[in-house]
Structure 1
Amino acid sequence: MSQLDSLKQFTTVVADTGDFKQLGVFLPTDATTNPSLILKAVQKADYQPLLAEAVAKYRGRPLDEITDRLIVRFGCEILSIVPGRVSTEVDARLSFDTAATVARGKRLIEMYAAEGIAKERILIKVASTWEGIQAAAQLEKAGIRTNLTLLFSFAQAVACGQAKVQLISPFVGRIYDWYKKTAGTAWVEADMAGAKDPGVISVTQIYNYYKRFGIATEVMGASFRNVGQITALAGCDLLTISPDLLALLAESNAPLNRTLDAKAAQAMDLEEVKLDEAAFRFALNQDAMATEKLAEGIRGFVADAIKLDKLLAA
């Protein structure tokens, strides 16, 4: 049995890609997209007809609407392959605007509905800012499920749990990147691998906390740099994995055992945390890694959203 097949026994495997033609190879349950992945996909010859089609069909409409139509088209193609859900991201330029995020999330759901896709198969993806988390809480109350992305800290996870969001995506690889860069020449890869990886430690803490206090929000580890980070989180609710790393897991027959366990977490001696806006902002401010990576992540998604706009406008 491959490591990928072993992993699927106790973790829902999600494909992290906009390249839906790769999905049939790995048979994931769900799929996630973001502006960067969609931008990468539409620059491939196979997907340029989708870009041209969206422009031709909705010419004269506002650019943000055409962009959302294109993103929804990708989501529909993905849902024709995967049996579960697809995450579709709200424009990162709205990351600090609660009302606009709610409105855009509802519009995406309406666009999917017009294509015959039930809202239960969509997760509206929102950045884990305070404003984004409050927007997600409103969407959830309206029956729209959300995926809170760009999540780097325990404080963000606590606030998401309080907001009763459907799912969070803590970014393992980007946490790892920050600590590795900060350590510089003092970084010893072997000493910081597997369960000692700072990204793995972060997701493990969040997973155990959620299970200990009965928080229903799903934990989906994301942004992996190597197979070791994935295998160290086997047992997590979901893991969203790039096609390259899915291929490595499919090729390996090395043993893979569960490392995260909900029953074990329920017996842990942990302290419950409550955060209002002031406490959230202070906790995030005290976490230099999370503060920097959240801001950097939003800037990166905004930059790619602008590039996608330019492609559509051209």
Structure 2
Amino acid sequence: MSNLLEQLKRLSIVVADTGDLAAIRQFAPQDATTNPSLILKAVQSGQYDDLVASILEQVNAMSLPLERAVEEAGDRLIVAMGRVILQHVPGRVSTEVNARLSFDTQASINKARNLVSMYEQAGISRDRILIKLAATWEGIRAAQILEQEGIQCNLTLIFSFVQAQACAEAGVYLISPFVGRILDWYRKQHPEQDFAPENEPGVCSVRTIYEYFRRHGYATIVMGASFRNAGEIIALAGCDRLTISPSLLQELSETEGRLESSLTMPEASSVPPEAMTEASFRWQLNEDAMATEKLAEGIRGFEQDQLKLETMLRTQLSGIRSETPSSTVMGGLCVSGN
């Protein structure tokens, strides 16, 4: 009998939720996803030191003002890391737009176009890239426009059905509903309650979204994300895609057993759903305390790690410009959890 990871790959597309090249090589996923926290963690690991040094030298030679140079270096770094990752996966890499742009549609579009242009200039076609945006109203509107331009998107930090519905109606290629962070919120609110993986609120949320999309014929891919335990993954076997951390990929690869699809294909509905409006989106999201809190927390967390990465780049750029060896600042930084 094969291990659970091998069986899972026959039921769902497995995506590595990491920038760790060793883990990607070991578990051979189809795709990989990154975010500012994972990028920072990968940079801290030291495996990208030569890449960082090369990018900083390139940017320094451009003679940009320091803050503009930091932004340029950050963009070049995430694209360069994406290019390295794509050497080890046959599919796509998700590259995230700066979290501080989550409430600015046009700025998100501009940043996405720039990132895609940088990939294309390096010989990477856009069909190997997913632009990752937070599923705010503004982020969804940006994705709608980008999709029409042939830039496919991964809408992240999905905590509520209303976010998922709005994404599907906007024609978004893929959404990432978060499982573990939903569980975190409910455990905090109900510490006395024991949540079995198959009945966890986050697992149930993904099932509801998946069945709704299939019932109404939406093409948007559902990719479960942010898992806290292997039981959640098993409970969502058969979902379109699952993005999984190296530690849980390892656990699944070491576990024997029989794995079958946990999701069912509902009957198609002939009744189209009522279209989402901005007012309806904002009201329904406001009424969901968990989703409102976790979305805001997620954006803040990504921004905090983005700032830490920028601090590292700024320090090293300043060191290069003053012709004084810059001290490494990677080791002392904290990385947000998944």
Q: Please confirm whether the aligned pair reaches a TM-score higher than 0.5, indicating the same fold.
A: yes
Q: 2:223 aligns with which of 220, 226, 245?
A: 220
How far 1:56 moved relative to its partner?
1.2
Counterpart of 1:253?
256
How far 1:45 moved relative to its partner?
2.2
Counterpart of 1:52?
53
Bigger shift: 192-201 or 47-56?
A: 47-56
Counterpart of 2:303?
302
**Distance of 2:167 and 2:300 partners within structure 1:** 21
**Distance of 2:156 and 2:5 partners within structure 1:** 24
How far 1:256 moved relative to its partner?
0.9
* Contact map agreement 1:234 1:259 (CA 8 A) in 2: yes
Q: 1:165 aligns with which of 160, 172, 183?
A: 172
Q: 2:232 aligns with which of 222, 229, 233?
A: 229
Which residue identity is paired with 2:203? V
**Distance of 1:210 and 1:71 partners within structure 2:** 31
Counterpart of 1:280?
281
| Residue ranges of structure 1 left out of the alignment (5+ in a row) | none
| Residue ranges of structure 2 left out of the alignment (5+ in a row) | 316-338
Secondary structure, counterpart of 1:9 in structure 2: helix
How far 1:21 moved relative to its partner?
2.7
Deviation sequence 1:244-272 (CA, Å, 0-9, x none):
000000011121110113xx323589983
**Distance of 2:51 and 2:200 partners within structure 1:** 39
TM-score between the two structures when normalised by the length of structure 1: 0.96
Largest Rg, 1 or 2: 2
1:134 pairs with 2:135: no
Counterpart of 1:98?
105
Which residue identity is paired with 1:256? L
* Contact map agreement 1:137 1:163 (CA 8 A) in 2: yes
* Contact map agreement 2:144 2:172 (CA 8 A) in 1: yes
Secondary structure, counterpart of 1:150 in structure 2: strand
1:207 pairs with 2:210: yes
Which residue identity is paired with 2:193? W
How far 1:48 moved relative to its partner?
2.0
Q: 1:196 aligns with which of 190, 194, 199?
A: 199
**Distance of 2:3 and 2:304 partners within structure 1:** 38
Bigger shift: 41-50 or 304-313?
A: 41-50
Which residue identity is paired with 1:139? L
Deviation sequence 1:188-219 (CA, Å, 0-9, x none):
2xxx2122111000000000000000000000
Question: Where in structure 1 do 4 or more consecutive aligned residues deviate above 4 Å?
Answer: 267-271
**Distance of 1:283 and 1:305 partners within structure 2:** 29
**Distance of 2:267 and 2:244 partners within structure 1:** 27
**Distance of 1:270 and 1:174 partners within structure 2:** 33
Secondary structure, counterpart of 1:46 in structure 2: coil
Which residue identity is paired with 2:22? K
**Distance of 1:300 and 1:270 partners within structure 2:** 40
Counterpart of 2:193?
187
Between the two proteins, what is the percent identity of the paired residues?
Answer: 55
How far 1:46 moved relative to its partner?
2.1
How far 1:65 moved relative to its partner?
1.6
Aligned ranges for residues 9-48 of structure 1 at < 5 Å? 9-48=10-49
Q: Which has the higher helix share?
A: 1
* Contact map agreement 1:212 1:270 (CA 8 A) in 2: no
**Distance of 1:22 and 1:276 partners within structure 2:** 42
**Distance of 2:168 and 2:91 partners within structure 1:** 22
TM-score between the two structures when normalised by the length of structure 2: 0.89
**Distance of 2:101 and 2:145 partners within structure 1:** 15
How far 1:273 moved relative to its partner?
4.1
Secondary structure, counterpart of 1:219 in structure 2: strand
* Contact map agreement 1:169 1:219 (CA 8 A) in 2: yes
Deviation sequence 1:220-249 (CA, Å, 0-9, x none):
000000000000000000000000000000
**Distance of 1:166 and 1:235 partners within structure 2:** 18
**Distance of 1:273 and 1:5 partners within structure 2:** 40
Judging changes above 3 Å, is the alpha-carbon distance between structure 1 residues 108 and 3 closer, same or farther for their aligned structure 2 residues? Answer: same
Which residue identity is paired with 1:122? I
* Contact map agreement 2:27 2:249 (CA 8 A) in 1: yes
Which residue identity is paired with 1:78? I
1:118 pairs with 2:121: no
Judging changes above 3 Å, is the alpha-carbon distance between structure 1 residues 268 and 230 closer, same or farther for their aligned structure 2 residues? Answer: farther
* Contact map agreement 2:32 2:93 (CA 8 A) in 1: yes
Counterpart of 2:84?
77
The size of the alignment, in residue pairs, is 308
